[in-house]
Amino acid sequence: MAKEIDINTYKHEFIVDRLKMDFNDNELMPIWNEIDSTRGCSKPIYQMGELNYILRNDTPSDIVRMTNHRGFDLNHFFIYWLDSDKREKLYSALVIENIPYFSFEDIASYLINTKSKKLLVYENELRDYFLSELFLSDKDDAKKVLDSLMAFGMVDIIGGDWNKIYGLIQKLIH
């Protein structure tokens, strides 16, 4: 028996694309740090302007040890910690996506799972994308049903399970 496709991957891919296109690094950084704090991972990202604050309790020799390597450049915009040779080192990145543990996919999942208001601007686009990807021949009927379900708050195109929404619409139009 063939494994069914998880339709939610379409939604996830759509959100990742929008994050890459519409969000700048300074908008992504606080979202990443919010995710990091909920996971307890201790992998926050900082702006270079926060360097003095971050290193305020370190000795000058500790600071030299943490930053004196090829992966650190004061001309970059972001700083982050990485473990290297059992010593924690401070690295820098010109753009946020160059940070090794940064992930658009993680941010997309987080925003979807928390039903973030940041995604509300994409509600109509998500609805249209959902319909165009899944309802080729019944698109007009599916749109009427989906719009009614959304208007009455019965489905959430952003945070809801697209597999269930698809199944419900299929039942209602056939």
Q: Over the stretch 39-96, which tens digit does the pLDDT of each residue have? A: 877 789 999 999 999 898 888 998 898 888 889 999 999 999 887 555 588 999 999 9
pLDDT at 17: 97
What is the rounded distance in angstroms from the CA atom of residue 54 to the CA atom of residue 40?
A: 18
pLDDT at 30: 96
What is the rounded distance in angstroms from the CA atom of residue 29 to the CA atom of residue 45?
A: 6
Look at phi and psi of residue 153 and say left if phi exceeds 0, alpha if psi is from -120 to 50, else beta.
left
- Provide, rounded to the nearest whole percent, the portion of the chain with pLDDT above 90: 67
Give tens-digit pLDDT for 92-109: 999 999 999 999 999 999
| SS3 labels along 12-65 | HHHHHHHHHHHCCHHHHHHHHHHHHHHHCCCCCEEEHHHHHHHCCCCCHHHHHH
pLDDT at 1: 46
Can you read off the two tokens belonging to residue 69?
């390597």
Name the residue type at position 68.
N
Give me the chain's average pLDDT, please: 90
| Contact status, residue 15 vs residue 119, Cβ threshold 8 Å | yes
Handedness of CA 130, 132, 133, 134 (dihedral sign): positive
Long-range contacts of 129-132 (CB under 8 A, 24+ apart): 129/10, 129/11, 129/14, 130/10, 130/11, 130/157, 130/162, 130/165, 130/166
Residue showing tokens 């109509």? 124
| Contact status, residue 15 vs residue 122, Cβ threshold 8 Å | yes
